[in-house]
Amino acid sequence: MSRVSELIDLIVQGKNAEASEVLNSELLARSYSSISELKPEVAANYFSPVVGEVESTETEQSEEDE
């Protein structure tokens, strides 16, 4: 975590509400970052049947199996 020291300081001081806010904001930021990284893959998987990429992938796999 990028804010570990801030989080530890707040916990040591007994400021649990503030520590919770720091933790939640960090987790939310990481979630958004992960979602941004997955968007192209999810879009490709979702739209591949429409575009026709599934057929080419299946053809390549059947050729490899032989």
Residue 6's nearest CA partner among 28, 20, 55, 34 is: 20
Per-residue DSSP letters for the chain? -TTHHHHHHHHHTT-HHHHHHHHHHHHHHHHHHHHHHHHHHHHHHHHHHHHTHHHHHHHHHHHHH-
Q: What residue segments make up the domains of the chain, in order of their start?
A: 4-65
Long-range contacts (CB closer than 8 Å, 24 or more residues apart) made by 53-56: none
pLDDT in tens, 11-58: 899 998 988 998 898 888 888 888 888 788 887 888 777 766 555 555
The pTM of the full predicted model, rounded to 2 decimals, is 0.51
